[in-house]
Structure 1
Amino acid sequence: MNVAVGLARLGHPTTLHTRIGADASGDLIRAHLDEAGVRLGPDALVTGPTSTAIARVDAEGSASYEFDIDWDIPAPDVAGARLVHTGSIGALREPGASAVRTALGAAGPGTLLTLDPNIRPDVIGPRDEVLRRVAELATLCPVVKLSDEDAAWLAPDATLEEVLADLAAQGARFVVVTRGSEGCMALVDGTWFARPARPVVVADTIGAGDAFMSGLLHALLRDGTDRLLAAGEPMPEEAVLASLETALLSAALTVARAGANPPTSAELVEALRASRE
């Protein structure tokens, strides 16, 4: 949801395929999505309860989560979409994970598929099954973003470079890992990139990774490089750097204020302008 809201705020027509119940939590979610301009998929509204995640923020601004999840949807129709993003519980927990896999497999050749595994160990199922699913999705998705915590869970004895290289070997072309206050590292078509984080006073970290993801996807769509990635064509180095710059700035704007509150297009444009002066 946070990535969908982030993309919509940045001016992209966005549809969220999800499951929202007829209860108070569902009402809040629908209002939040409506305000951002996110459309709901045709099967989103159900009569059962809404799945929830409760975030608790410690004194340093770091968040921990508790989940109550019921995830069962029909495979969404993504024909004609320019970009399809998936990840976390939706892509890794059954029964909904199979519907996601079916949808990705049916996407058209011009559609860019992107993944953020966003590992939640307590709710995503057996480790071996999750590792298999992440590997399978990496063969389908040219763009994979993960956090350093995700990387440590996926391969506890590997370096970040080794994790990125392994995902690239499975088929992903643009693999990037976020490193909190240390910025990000990326492997794109065999070339390594590293960028520092933006200096910022952190209010809390809720939604930071999602804001990085929506900022990254925004940059790919804005610059037209999503079409290069979808077509298997090389991405210019300056376009990679521009996308990482935009993603890091989107995350910085989000952690500077409370809650998962990604920037609007006007806020991001102004911040990019100011950063280049």
Structure 2
Amino acid sequence: MLHPGPFAGVTVLGECVADLLEDPSRSTPDGLTLRALPGGGPANTAVALARLGTPTRFLGRLSDDAFGSLFRARLTSSGVDLTGSVTAAEPSTLAVADLDPSGQATYTFYADGAADWQWTDHELAAAPGDDAACLHTGSLALVRQPGGNRIERHLTRTRKHATVSIDPNVRPLLVPPSAYRERLPHWCAVADILRLSEEDCAHLAPGEGLEAACDTWHAAGTRLVVITLGERGALVSLDGSRVTVPAPSVTVVDTVGAGDSFTAGLLHHLGALGHLGGRLEALTLEDAAGAAVFGARVAALTCSVSGANPPRADEPGLRSAWHGSGHVQGPEGHPA
């Protein structure tokens, strides 16, 4: 693939969110102590990509409040390029996380009027992007208005020279699932890759089996659909040819950022194999499955530590996952 500039990495467009978690060791009956951790699905994906070694640019509207400073510090320390991000006067988005005994997180959001959703056409037109091999977006920034429709138009322009990846990351407490279902056909028409969770599918295709849902999204235009299944691995569907890949066994501390890390591992592996930069013309099911195996390992390592703290490229478990991800067993025990 030819690109006009030297970057040819992954641009991630979306929100930063401050995840507020209780610190039980410092909470008392008189007061609840919260710890603020930098998060947000797109920001987590950008951090994970950069830590894996993929050149990564983040396009976000970062508030000039204290949380915005926290976001900038995390992204830059992980090696993410912020030159395309906008400094915004609006406040940062906050999410209070509740963890159940298994480490699964649920969130209460404080997002009205936040910086993340206020993209203008002028800001997006001025953002660098012609030199990227892939643009990844999704989550709340793609569905909340007024910025969501403007990002959709930006995707249409960007796909002329870059692979487009979308993670819907349905948040029913903030946006009705019907709003995602209404926009999903438009997203599939511009997306080459759709990465979503089994829980997302329950909202986006209620009452429909996963394989039938994949076929619907293929018919709408998306070539590669990857559905994460938690401890059961991931379903990989390329133009209707499918395989399920396993998830590695891991002691789960919590699941915060696991799906975002999976997406980063998937895109990193596809990029390393030379598949990003167009319409995935040369992608095989075996290569797609290998990328999902690597993504599952990145997600597992994220689950093994507290918070959205994805691993770096020199993590021993990632080196072994990389070398073992080229050959994946299909449903009948044959190579995919």
TM-score between both structures, scaled by the size of structure 2: 0.77
| 94, 98, 104: which one aligns with 2:155 | 104
* Aligned equivalents of 1:60, 1:204: Cα separation in 2: 7
Matching residue's letter, 1:14: T
The Cα of 1:45 is off from its aligned counterpart by 1.1
Deviates more, 1:212-221 or 1:69-78: 69-78
The 5-angstrom pairing of residues 157-172 of structure 1 reads 157-172=207-222
Which shows bigger deviation, 266-275 or 96-105? 266-275
Query: Identical aligned pairs, as a percentage?
Result: 35
Residue aligned with 1:15, SS = strand
Post-superposition shift, 1:109?
2.6
Q: Does 1:208 align with 2:258?
A: yes
Unmatched segments (≥5 aa) in structure 1:
none
> How many residue pairs end up in the alignment?
273
Q: What does residue 240 of structure 1 align with?
A: 288
Q: Is 1:74 aligned with 2:120?
A: yes
Paired with 1:74 and 1:186, the residues of 2 have a C-alpha distance of 35
* Paired residue secondary structure (2:307): coil
1:272 to 295, 315, 321: 321
Give 1:74 deviation, angstroms.
2.4
Counterpart of 1:154?
Answer: 204
Q: Which of 32, 39, 53 in structure 2 is aligned with 1:11?
A: 53
**Alpha carbons 1:18, 1:41 under 8 Å: kept:** no
* Secondary structure at the counterpart of residue 286 of structure 2: helix
> Distance between the aligned counterparts of 1:183 and 1:257, measured in 2?
19
Aligned partners of 2:170 and 2:200 also within 8 Å: yes
Secondary structure of 1:131's counterpart equals helix
Separation (CA, whole Å) in 2 of partners of 1:153 and 1:108: 27
> Which residue does 2:144 correspond to in 1?
93
CA-CA distance at 1:156 after TM superposition: 1.5
User: Is the CA contact (8 Å cut-off) linking 2:252 and 2:303 kept in structure 1?
Assistant: yes
Structure number with greater Rg is 2
Q: Tell me if structure 1 keeps the 8 A contact 2:236–2:289.
A: no
Matches within 5 A, 1:172-251: 172-227=222-277, 230-251=278-299
Structure 1 residue 149: Cα displacement: 0.4
RMSD: 1.8
The match for 1:62 is: 104
Per-residue deviation, 1:73: 1.3
- Conserved? CA contact 1:54–1:66, under 8 Å: yes
What amino acid is aligned across from residue 270 of structure 1 in structure 2? Answer: R
Distance in 2 (alpha carbons) for counterparts of 1:251 and 1:40: 24
Displacement of 1:237 after TM fit?
3.1
Deviation of 1:94 after TM superposition, in Å, equals 0.8
Q: Distance in 1 between matches of 2:177 and 2:307?
A: 30
1:105-131 per-residue CA deviation (whole Å, 9 max, x = no partner) reads: 11153300000000001212x444321
Could you tell which deviates more after superposition, 160-169 or 66-75? 66-75
Query: In structure 2, which of residues 93, 113, 117 is the aligned counterpart of residue 51 of structure 1?
Result: 93
1:97 and 1:47 map into 2 onto residues whose CA distance is 19
Cα distance in 2 for partners of 1:269, 1:200 equals 13
- Higher mean alpha-carbon deviation, 32-41 vs 113-122, is at 32-41
State the 4+ residue runs in structure 1 displaced beyond 4 angstroms: 273-276
SS in structure 1 of the partner of residue 281 of structure 2: coil
Equivalent in the alignment of 1:118: 169
Q: Does structure 2 conserve the Cα–Cα contact (< 8 Å) formed by 1:91 and 1:97?
A: yes
* 1:155-200 Cα deviation digits (max 9, x unpaired): 2211111111111111110001001011110110221110111111
Moved more, 129-138 or 251-260: 129-138
The 1:142–1:166 alpha-carbon spacing in structure 2 relative to 1, beyond 3 Å, is same
Aligned to 1:262: 310
| Greater percentage in helix | 1
SS in 2 for 1:119: coil
Separation in 1 of the partners of 2:303 and 2:234?
15
Aligned residue type for 1:192: R
Unaligned regions of 5+ residues in structure 2, if any?
1-42, 326-336
Instruction: Sort the Cα spacing of 1:137 and 1:108 in 2 relative to 1 into closer, same or farther, 3 A.
Output: closer
Equivalent in the alignment of 2:10: none
Which range moves more in the overlay, 19-28 or 3-12? 19-28
Separation of aligned partners in 2, 1:193 and 1:169: 18
One-letter amino acid of the counterpart of residue 134, structure 2: L
The residue type equivalent to 2:88 in the other structure is: V
TM-score normalised by structure 1 residue count: 0.93
